Amino acid sequence: MPGGDFHPWLFFILAAWILICGLGVVAFKKVMYSAASMVACFLGVAFAYALLNAPLVAVVQILVYVGAISIVIIFAIMLTEVQDGGYDLFFNRQAVLAAPLAVAAAAVLTVVVVTADVGQIGDKALNPSVKGISLLLFKGYVFPFELVSLVLVAAMIGALVLARKEEEKS
């Protein structure tokens, strides 16, 4: 059972929530609905992190995903809101092939994961505390941390350059 100091049913309810919301993202014809479903899914995932003894990740998930990314995506939707008229299908033509592939992948990966020897596993939660994570981050992984900050700066500048209107030329 999905151990920890919570009722197993909690896990199943949460998992169902996450998966149904995920399916919603794929299945809603309207883009806005998909976005809403995605936000709901992200919230579920944040809750999962909390159950997995990782409160910091849960908080970051809410801040970044539910807060920032969702907003950016909704902005993008609104900026590009077009009449999808002329396109009846919201799935493309390879859906016929992609559906069995995805099902097969799910089956295979599940089997692989479930039968995998993941080594010594206890029910005891091992995730480090916030303090532990910060120690890890600023001691052992300080170099990747700095690199990530660089990536963020680059992404920020890149997004500005890409999305800005070209005034001087046209």
Partner 1 sequence: MEGTQYMKIAVALIVLLPLAGFIITLLLGKRLFRARSHILPVALVTVTAVLSVYAFEWVVRHPDTAFVWNAFSWVAAGRFTVEWGFLVDPLTGIMLLVVGIIGMLVHYYSIGYMKDDPGYYRFFAYLNLFMFAMFVLILANNYLLLFLGWEGVGLCSYLLISFWFRKKSASQAGKKAFLVNRVGDFGFTLGMFLIFVTTGTLQFTGVFDKAEMIGSGTLLWICLLLFTGAVGKSAQFPLHVWLPDAMEGPTPVSALIHAATMVNAGVYMVARSYPLFVQAHTAMLIVMIIGTFTAIYSAYIAITQNDIKKVIAYSTISSLGFMFMALGAGAWAAGIFYLFAHGFFKGLLFLCSGSVIHAMGGEQDMRNMGGLRKKIPITFWTMLIGAIALIGVFPFAGFWAKDEILGSDFSGGYYVVWAVGIVTAFLTAVFAFRLIFMTFFGKSRASEEVQRHIHESAKVMTIPLVLLAIPAALLGILVGWPPDTGWIHTFLQPVFFDVEREKFVWVGVGGGLMVFSVAVALLGVYVAYVMYIRRTELPGRLAARLPVAYEASFNKMYMDQVYEVVPIRSTIAFAGWLWTFFDVKVIDGAVNGLARLWELLGERLRPLQTGRVQNYAFSIFAGMLVLVVVLAWVWGS
Partner 2 sequence: MNALYWWLTLAVLLFCIGAFGVLVRRNVIVVVMCLELMLNAVNIALVAISNFRAGALGAGTLFSLFIITLAAAEVTVGLAIVIANYRNRRTVQTDQYDELKG
Member of 92, 118, 126, 170 binding partner 1 (CB under 8 A): 92
Neighbours of 49 (CB within 10 A): 19
Does 122 bind partner 2 (CB under 8 A)? Our answer is yes
Q: What is the DSSP string of 8-31?
A: HHHHHHHHHHHHHHHHHHHH-SSH
The answer to the question of residue 66 lying near partner 2 (CB under 8 A) is no
Q: State the sign of the Cα–Cα–Cα–Cα dihedral 124, 129, 133, 136.
A: negative
Supply the minimum distance, in Å, between the C-beta of residue 105 and partner 1: 5
The site partner of 73 among partner 2, partner 1, none (C-beta below 5 to 8 Å per kind) is: partner 2
Chosen from partner 1, partner 2, none, partner binding at 68 (C-beta under 5 to 8 Å by type): partner 2
Of 36, 124, 101, 47, whose CA–CA distance to 74 is shortest?
A: 36
Write the CA distances from 158 to 68, 73, 90, 125, integer angstroms. Answer: 17, 17, 30, 40
**Partner from partner 1, partner 2, none contacting 56, C-beta within 5 to 8 A by type:** partner 2
Residue from 5, 85, 89, 143 that binds partner 2 (CB under 8 A)? 89
Angle formed by the axes of helices 31-51 and 8-27, to 10°? Answer: 160
Residue 43 binds: one of partner 1, partner 2, none (C-beta under 5 to 8 A by kind): none
Query: Within 28-47, which residues bind partner 2 (CB under 8 A)?
Result: 31, 34-35, 38, 41-42, 45
Contacts for 40 with CB less than 8 Å, ≥ 6 apart = 17, 21, 24
Min dist. Cβ of residue 33 to partner 2 (A) = 10
Cβ nearer to partner 1, comparing 68 with 108? 108
